Amino acid sequence: MRWALAWVAASLVVMVPAAQAADRSDGSVPAPAQISQLVTSVPASTLNQVGAGDSRNPITSPDFGISKRDGHFTSGGKPEVVSVDLAWCPHCAANSWALAVALSRFGTLTGLGEINTGTHFCKVAEDPCNLNPLSCFPYTHGLSFLGAGYSSRYISFASIVLQDVNGRNLQKPTRREERSLTTVHLQGASPALDVASAWGFNGSGYDPGALAHKTWSQIAGSLANPHNRIARQVDGLANLFTAAICTATKGRPGNVCKLRGVKAAAATVLRKYPSQPPPPPPS
* Pairing, β 156-161 against β 113-116: unpaired
Q: What angle do CA 208, 210, 260 make, to 5 degrees?
A: 95
Q: Which of 36, 22, 69 is nearest to 185 (CA)?
A: 69
For residue 133, what pLDDT is reported?
A: 55
* pLDDT over 80 (residue 197): yes
**Is the predicted pLDDT of residue 4 greater than 50, yes or no?**
no
- In order of 18, 182, 185, the CA distances from 249 in angstroms are 32, 21, 21
Mean pLDDT of the chain: 88
Cα separation, 215 vs 32, in Å, equals 13
- Picking from 219, 198, 230, 222, the residue whose alpha carbon sits closest to that of residue 55 is 230
> Comparing C-alpha atoms, which of 100, 66, 86, 89 is closest to residue 208?
89
Q: Does residue 11 register a pLDDT over 90? A: no
Q: In this predicted model, which residue has the larger pLDDT, 209 or 2?
A: 209
- Comparison of pLDDT for 8 and 82, the residue scoring more: 82
pLDDT at 131: 54
pLDDT value for 219: 98
Q: With contact defined as beta carbons under 8 Å apart, do 181 and 192 qualify? A: yes
Q: How confident is the model at residue 19 (pLDDT cuts 50, 70, 90)?
A: very low
Dump pLDDT digits (tens) for 49-101.
999 999 999 999 999 999 998 889 999 999 999 999 999 999 999 999 999 99
Across residues 34-51, what is the average pLDDT?
98
CA angle 59, 219, 104 (to 5 degrees): 65
**What is the per-residue pLDDT for 8?**
41
User: Which has the closest alpha carbon to 223: 238, 242, 241?
Assistant: 238
| Confidence category of residue 2, pLDDT binned at 50, 70, 90 | very low
5 falls in which pLDDT band (50, 70, 90)?
A: very low
pLDDT tens digit sequence for 100-116? 999 999 999 999 999 99
pLDDT at 125 over 80: no
